[in-house]
Amino acid sequence: MTALPGVLRRGIIQPKYILAIVIVLMGMMVAMGLYEISASRQDIMSVLKEEATSLAEAISIMSDNSLVCFGEIEYLVSERLLSNARILELLDSESPLSEEMLRDIAEQNNIHGILVYNGDGTIILDSHTQEEPALQQLEARIKAFLSGDEDEAIINLDEADRYAIAVRRSKGGAIVIGVDSLEILEFRKSIGVGSLIQEIGENEGIEYIVLQDENGLILASRNVTQMRRIAGDDFLHNALDHRQVDMRTYLFNGREAMEIVSPFQIDDESYALFRIGLSMDAIRAAESRGRNRLVFTALVVLAVGAVSLSFLLVSQNHSLLSRAYDRIQTYTGVVLENIADGIIVSDTDGTISVFNKAAEQIFKKPGDKMTGLSVNELPPSVAELLTEAADSKIPERDTEIRVNMQDSGTRLLSVRTSHFAGTETETDSVVAIIRDITEARTMEENIRRTEQLTAMGKLASAVAHEVRNPLNAISMIAQRLGREFSPQEDEEQYHELTSMVKSESARLNGIIEQFLDFARPPKLNRQQVDMDQLLDETVSLVTMRSAEHGIEIHKEYSGLGRRMVDREQMKQVLLNLLLNGMEAMPDGGTLSIKGYIEDETLCIEVSDTGEGIPEDELTRIFDLYFTTKETGTGLGLSIAQRIVMEHGGWLDVDSETGSGAAFRIHLPAGLEDGQ
């Protein structure tokens, strides 16, 4: 047996070597600790810089959004006033107005005042007594308006804080409607960038926020009274000239702050600087923790070294190593068998050596039979990933694939493949960690769709309500014009036009009703429904049409039981899916309706043999107003999904181009047999 090196004497390392090792380790620990402190400081400063830059960008975006928001509000106010003035002008053209009528209209519509002028600019009707300064300024504006060619105008009265519009009267003169602009101005201030800066500046960790140009401060947080000018600061001057984001340590009110400066474009030619001061407390705390860890680590190493100098034994027993190895192997096998993710290990020839229980559940194949077989016994897409990993020798790769399982349909799998280089006695191997993420992804998609439908429903409701009021006024006016007036010439054309206005108003009102129907969640009239009978009734509605188009209907359901559902709304969902499937097969094909119970959940599947849905459209088909049909509205699937979700279920789809599409309705358990 070869003699052991002189370092070892009877299985014990000599103390001088242990001391040398301890000293080296302590030196390495101190160096690593100092490096960690420096790296942590740099990392925190980098994070602070990114946070401040993002904050400056967010403030810039919010300021732009506030301007857009205020402009939209001004537009809506002016449109409302113009609508009221136009209606008054129509009423005035039919019969004389009165001050009492004007006062009633002003109170009902929250209008400050309504004035009626004659042709020479003299007030003939006034809903409220107006202040003299406002009347004097308004008189000049109205005379200028009457002398011009415009039929409508918007007027701002600075001295009286009024905002008004004027509409020319058919009898000569003008109708003027005004509101108090102070509330609008206060609202503009509350959403302005100055308020944003002051509110954000109150947050913990932010020392100050300043918007500054070469002339001085433009906006600042509440705790800022004065700041160094750009002209006298090379750092600020350089950042402004080069339009670049930069950072430095700056003394503010006796405290060090990490200052980040970011250019801000005021207009096409002018720039300013956002100066954001962030607290240095995080950096100081990190440095303190680093120093404490360094001291603690040094003490630990010193203690370990002292103990090692006296007691460390280096004699290793071969049998102990063997038992440890066997124990590790046993533990590894237990972990592999009981881990929640599927584990498949294969060699470079594609022979499977490990196939754990989770893999058995995913692929519905016994592990003892799969061990020793080729990876080609797996679904093609999985086998291709394992083969590619063995050939490319890429250390690690994450992929998501869709796999068609015979018993459970298409499943979405997350696959991580890793290539491990072998030793002189072992070949290379490939490890695949597989997780079934179908349900998780479906849940994420349902949440996203729910949020999207809710938001779009609210928008639809708001738009519909805003449009309905002026639309009703237009319809009423058209009815009165058609009923109460008869022109002396072109009477037939006149009545055609008024009739057209009424019919188009009715059509628009129908569209508004669709908006409101979608905005309101469907009210369910739940009752005990035999699901087999409901499917039979719905299929019978499309049987004749399917025969005309050469479509064969295949039914596969029986004993689905009873569920507490809204019969008519669920029939609407099924009919929508059946008709969509038929429209996907203009040249004929097979339309299948399948019903089954899976994990106590009722599943109804409607599939066709059409061209399928392109992958780029698959994630959008439930979006509101998305349609690929020339005459489609884009509401069918959105409403169908909403009805199913109101029942506590969900609606999903599987499709591949050229292989048709399958829509599945999932209804929860606990609703059958009257439960």
Task: Write the pLDDT tens digit of every residue in 508-541.
Answer: 777 777 666 666 666 788 899 999 999 999 999 8
Residue 159 has pLDDT above 60, yes or no: no
More confident residue, 491 or 384: 384
Residue 3 has pLDDT above 50, yes or no: no
More confident residue, 591 or 627: 591
Tokens (6 digits) for 312: 């460390």
Q: Which domains does the chain have, with CATH numbers?
A: 96-187 (3.30.450.190), 320-436 (3.30.450.20), 442-518 (1.10.287), 526-667 (3.30.565.10)
The winner for highest mean pLDDT among 72-86, 298-312, 330-344, 446-460 is 72-86
pLDDT class of 557 with cuts at 50, 70, 90: very high
CB distance 569 to 633 below 8 Å? no
Residue 186 has pLDDT above 70, yes or no: no
- % of the chain at pLDDT higher than 70: 76
Mind listing the pLDDT tens digit for each residue in 415-467? Answer: 888 888 777 667 788 888 888 887 777 777 767 766 766 776 677 677 776 77
More confident residue, 377 or 311: 377
CB distance 636 to 643 below 8 Å? no
Overall average pLDDT of the 668-673 stretch: 57
pLDDT class of 4 with cuts at 50, 70, 90: very low
Mind listing the pLDDT tens digit for each residue in 292-304? Answer: 777 777 777 667 7
Amino acid 189: pLDDT = 57
Strand partners of residue 402? 412
Tokens (6 digits) for 608: 């066709």
Residue 188 has pLDDT above 70, yes or no: no
653 contacts: CB under 8 Å, gap ≥ 6: 613, 618, 621, 661, 662, 663, 664
The winner for highest mean pLDDT among 298-302, 363-367, 631-635 is 363-367
* Burial annotation 499-521 (CB, 10 A radius, 16+ → b, else e): eebbeebeeeeeebeebbebbee
* Burial annotation 72-94 (CB, 10 A radius, 16+ → b, else e): eeeeebbebbbbbbbbbbeebee
Which of 326-330, 453-457, 619-623 is predicted with the least confidence, judged by mean pLDDT?
A: 326-330
Tokens (6 digits) for 261: 């400066």
pLDDT class of 245 with cuts at 50, 70, 90: confident
Amino acid 571: pLDDT = 92
Quote the CA–CA distance of 154 and 566 in Å, as a whole number.
53
Amino acid 535: pLDDT = 93
Residue 8 has pLDDT above 50, yes or no: no
The winner for highest mean pLDDT among 12-21, 186-195, 333-342, 606-615 is 606-615
* Burial annotation 168-183 (CB, 10 A radius, 16+ → b, else e): bbeeebbbbbbbebee
Amino acid 108: pLDDT = 83
Residue 673 has pLDDT above 50, yes or no: no
CB distance 631 to 619 below 8 Å? no
Cβ-in-10-Å burial (0-12, 13-18, 19+) of 160 comes to: buried
Overall average pLDDT of the 62-79 stretch: 71
Cβ-in-10-Å burial (0-12, 13-18, 19+) of 589 comes to: buried
Quote the CA–CA distance of 169 and 434 in Å, as a whole number.
77
Overall average pLDDT of the 609-630 stretch: 77
Residue 7 has pLDDT above 50, yes or no: no
More confident residue, 270 or 560: 560
Amino acid 219: pLDDT = 76
- % of the chain at pLDDT higher than 90: 8
How does the average pLDDT of the chain come out, rounded?
A: 77
Residue 608 has pLDDT above 90, yes or no: yes
Amino acid 536: pLDDT = 93
The winner for highest mean pLDDT among 244-248, 419-423, 449-453, 501-505 is 244-248
More confident residue, 511 or 122: 122
pLDDT class of 322 with cuts at 50, 70, 90: low
Amino acid 594: pLDDT = 93
Amino acid 554: pLDDT = 93
pLDDT class of 313 with cuts at 50, 70, 90: very low
What pTM was estimated for this model as a whole? 0.39
Overall average pLDDT of the 64-72 stretch: 67
Overall average pLDDT of the 146-171 stretch: 76
Amino acid 600: pLDDT = 80
